[in-house]
């Protein structure tokens, strides 16, 4: 008998096969966790690979050419992703975000977009289907993605100064090509477009005002994200976090702002608009102003592990159920039980001193490239 070889990459994060309850329950479109948070948002990582080496996510010193990424056989197929997504939508998910790694590296990504665009909520509505990208391949693929049914796009861009941006992506990729991708997305009607800037004190915080000025009076919504302690490879330090309140103060001193009401429950960004009508910006403050109490997001890794928090230390192996012959009702019941038992609130605990950012004794937290932001 030949022993089955299981790639070590499959075991890099702790996981367990979810329990299928004895009493199976069909999804009702309404599912809440232990803190009464509904399940509304599903983020699906389609690859753990990326062509950038941003130091806050995939530092080149760790993610070398020899790094052991997941083998293709471990990845969920598009059909498996769509099957799981359909069950999550039946539980109440109305927004699906494709992420990575860099999702546009996944061959045939437009085929997955087309399959997901056909999903409908229990009320018969199409899901809000969006994708986050570094835009390195966006100009070439925008129209294909739009034709397949993608509705919106979010672009990661951490600086307008080309030298700063090249240092941050660490592969010398130029800003001009990212901007071309954004322009192509606008022409194709992928909107509203959001641009995310991760702000790292002492690295790119001088780019806050140039970024704000560039996207003022456009249809692009700029979001400033606090540098987060996701995973353990980015060397995160609290003194490199620039609080969102400082970001707002810097912009407000030049372009007066006023706060806006949230557009939906569980919205991660606090929104502000320019008083002169020049558009809006947002800040995502997961370090200094935790929003765990409203978090309604689940994350599915590229090989089918369900994570309930961006700072999770273990996942729930849905792939094992898929490939083990479980039917849809059994998998949906298992997902429901996992969410109902969810009590994650890492950022709140850290703010209260209940978690330390770099505790060597703590279980290893999942890396951002593995489940997306």
Residue 81 falls within a domain, yes or no? Answer: yes
What CATH code is carried by the domain that includes residue 137? 3.20.20.70
Distances from the Cα of 106 to the Cαs of 103, 215, 252, 317, 361, in angstroms?
Answer: 6, 29, 40, 21, 35
Residue 130 falls within a domain, yes or no? Answer: yes
By residue range, what is the domain housing residue 125? 8-371
Q: Which residue has the higher pLDDT, 152 or 287?
A: 152
Q: Of the ranges 19-33, 133-147, 303-317, which one carries the lowest mean pLDDT score?
A: 303-317
Contact 15, 300 (CB under 8 A): no
Q: Which residue has the tokens 């993605």?
A: 145
- pLDDT the model gives residue 336: 97
Contact 236, 367 (CB under 8 A): no
Residue 2 falls within a domain, yes or no? Answer: no
Contact 370, 13 (CB under 8 A): yes
Residue 3 falls within a domain, yes or no? Answer: no
Q: What is the mean pLDDT of residues 81-104?
A: 97
- pLDDT the model gives residue 154: 97
Residue 61, pLDDT > 80, answer yes
Residue 104 falls within a domain, yes or no? Answer: yes
Which residues, including other chains, have CB under 8 Å from residue 85's CB and lie 6 or more apart?
A: 42, 44, 93, 96, 116, 119
Residue 1 falls within a domain, yes or no? Answer: no
- pLDDT the model gives residue 232: 58
- pLDDT the model gives residue 344: 73
Q: What is the band of 269 on the pLDDT scale with cuts at 50, 70, 90?
A: confident
Q: Average pLDDT over the chain, rounded to whole? A: 88
How many structural domains is the chain composed of?
1
Q: What is the mean pLDDT of residues 141-156?
A: 97
What is the reported pTM? Answer: 0.90
Q: Of the ranges 14-18, 31-35, 78-82, 360-364, which one carries the lowest mean pLDDT score?
A: 360-364
Residue 305 falls within a domain, yes or no? Answer: yes
Dump pLDDT digits (tens) for 196-253. 999 999 999 999 999 999 999 999 999 999 987 665 556 667 888 899 999 999 999 9
Residue 266, pLDDT > 70, answer no
Q: What is the band of 356 on the pLDDT scale with cuts at 50, 70, 90?
A: very low
- Cα–Cα dist 46/106, whole Å: 7
- pLDDT the model gives residue 1: 33
- pLDDT the model gives residue 8: 37
């Amino acid at each position: 008998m030949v022993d089955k070889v299981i790639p070590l990459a499959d075991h890099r994060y702790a996981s367990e096969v979810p329990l299928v309850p004895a009493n199976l329950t069909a999804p009702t479109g309404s599912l809440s966790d232990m803190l009464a948070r509904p399940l509304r948002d599903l983020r699906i990582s389609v690859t753990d690979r990326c062509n950038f080496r941003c130091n806050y996510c995939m530092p080149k010193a760790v993610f070398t050419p020899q790094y052991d990424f997941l083998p293709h056989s471990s990845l969920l197929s598009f059909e498996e992703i769509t099957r799981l997504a359909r069950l999550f939508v039946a539980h109440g998910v109305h927004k699906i975000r494709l992420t990575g790694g860099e999702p546009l590296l996944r061959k045939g990504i437009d085929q997955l977009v087309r399959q997901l665009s056909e999903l409908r909520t229990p009320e018969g509505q199409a899901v809000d289907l969006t994708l986050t990208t570094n835009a390195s391949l966006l100009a070439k693929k925008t129209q294909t993605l739009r034709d397949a049914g993608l509705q919106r796009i979010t672009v990661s861009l951490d600086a307008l100064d080309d030298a700063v941006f090249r240092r941050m992506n660490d592969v010398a990729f130029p800003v001009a090509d990212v901007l071309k991708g954004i322009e192509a997305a606008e022409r194709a009607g992928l909107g509203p477009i959001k641009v995310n800037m991760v702000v790292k004190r002492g690295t790119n915080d001088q780019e806050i005002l140039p970024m704000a000025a560039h996207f003022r009076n456009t249809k692009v919504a700029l979001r400033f994200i606090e540098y987060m302690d996701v995973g353990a490879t980015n060397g995160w330090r609290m003194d490199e976090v620039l609080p969102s309140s400082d970001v707002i103060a810097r912009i407000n001193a030049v372009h007066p702002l006023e706060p806006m009401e949230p557009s939906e429950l569980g919205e991660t960004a606090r929104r502000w608009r320019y008083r002169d009508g020049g558009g809006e910006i947002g800040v995502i403050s997961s370090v200094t102003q935790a929003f765990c109490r409203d978090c309604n997001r689940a994350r599915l890794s590229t090989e089918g592990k369900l994570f309930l928090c961006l700072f999770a230390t273990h996942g729930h192996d849905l792939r094992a159920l898929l490939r083990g012959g479980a039917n849809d009702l059994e998998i949906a019941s298992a997902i429901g039980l996992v969410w109902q038992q969810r009590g994650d609130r890492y950022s709140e605990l850290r703010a209260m001193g209940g978690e330390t950012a770099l505790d060597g004794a703590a279980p290893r937290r999942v890396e951002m490239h593995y489940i997306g932001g």
